[in-house]
Amino acid sequence: MSTLSVRLRAGDLVEVKTPEEILQTLDGDGTLDRLPFMPEMVAFCGRRFRVSGRVHQTCSTGPPNPYAEMRVFREDDVVLLDGLRCSGAAHDGCQKDCAIFWREAWLRKVEPGAEPVADAGAGDRLRSRLKTMAGPTTYFCQSSELIKATESLSRREQFKKCARDVRAGDCGALRMAARLALWVFWKIRRRLVGEYSRGRAASATPAETLNLQPGDWVEVKPLESIRDTLNASGYNRGLYFTPGMGRACGRKYQVGGRIDRIIVDGSGEMRRMRNTVRLEHSECRCAILNVGGCSRREVNYWREIWLRRIPTT
């Protein structure tokens, strides 16, 4: 069920359409071209936001490959809006903090000062049409359906998408050149010297509980200390320490929230996590691992054993 694209660009001011208008775009599963409109998105209906960029390619971060597979929406009609992430409130408190994907059919471009369109008052009816579960123990959301709503990209197609990013104004030419150079550097480095975060721990990697809470301040430990917590493949109890995270070593961050449960891409499984947090202003540097990076802006997951609490005075 596709609609005419309005070709939004980064910086455009848009208004999320009314619940009644959204309903007219959805199929029986509450999706448009297999991408769900989630209950967490209903609260944004009638409100205005800036487009942060078009989604020319996105990653799927499901196990077991740490180098996330790059994928593309079959219709080039998906954008991100500034600062909008999924709260997980309708999905048993999932703490994945995903950036929300928006089909252009759910948005209208507006000019500053234009009168907003009156809400049709169908918020409850829209929510009643939206699924949150795919089965007794599996969830239904944009993360769970990402594989179905997208298709894989060949390496050649990934380079073409980089050119589209530049033409669409989502990334300057010099910045894209820097991204590609970064990817080439890390690809060569990995082949010559192996995994950046290759650890020294045995297969049963250690854990530490700091009971960090939102607002606490921490310092990321030195890389040499972190390597003692990783196995030879760069994992601590199944969580990969990325090269991008290594750039944060020695820096101070505020804890943004705990990560105790997340919905896994593609499967809809709710995975339990322990001793893990997210840090403010710490997002995945996907360009290190994949050509040109991606638009998804996943948050980094930090084991508490990689952090040092900074005492408050």
Residue 134: inside a domain, yes or no? yes
In a domain, 59, yes or no: yes
Q: Is residue 6 part of a domain?
A: no
Rounded CA gap, 187 and 15, in Å?
A: 41
DSSP 117-145: PPP-S-HHHHHHT---BSSSSBB-STTTT
Q: Which of 163, 166, 158 is nearest to 187 (CA)?
A: 158
- Domain range for 117: 13-155
**Buried b / exposed e across 216-249, counting CB within 10 Å, b at 16+?**
bbbebbebeebbebbbeebbbbebbbbbbbbebe
How many distinct structural domains can be found in the chain? Answer: 1
Do the domain assignments include residue 88? yes
- Global confidence as pTM: 0.85
Q: Is residue 76 part of a domain?
A: yes
Tokens 């219709």 belong to which residue?
A: 75
Cα distances from 270 to residues 91, 113, 166, 213, 245, in angstroms, run 9, 43, 36, 22, 24
* 161 CB neighbour count, 10 Å cutoff: 19
Q: Contact 285/258 with Cβ under 8 angstroms? A: no
Q: What is the DSSP letter of 85?
A: B
Residue 61 lies in a domain: yes
Kindly give the confidence (pLDDT) of every residue in the chain, 313 residues in length, as a single tens digit, with 9 standing for 90 and above: 444 445 898 899 999 999 999 999 999 999 999 999 999 999 999 999 999 988 888 887 765 444 567 788 988 899 999 999 999 999 999 999 999 999 999 999 998 876 666 565 678 999 999 999 999 999 999 999 999 999 887 778 877 777 877 877 777 888 788 778 877 877 787 777 766 777 888 778 999 999 999 999 999 999 999 999 999 888 999 898 988 888 899 999 999 999 999 999 888 999 999 999 999 999 876 656 666 667 778 899 999 999 999 987 6
Beta bridge partners of 261: 272
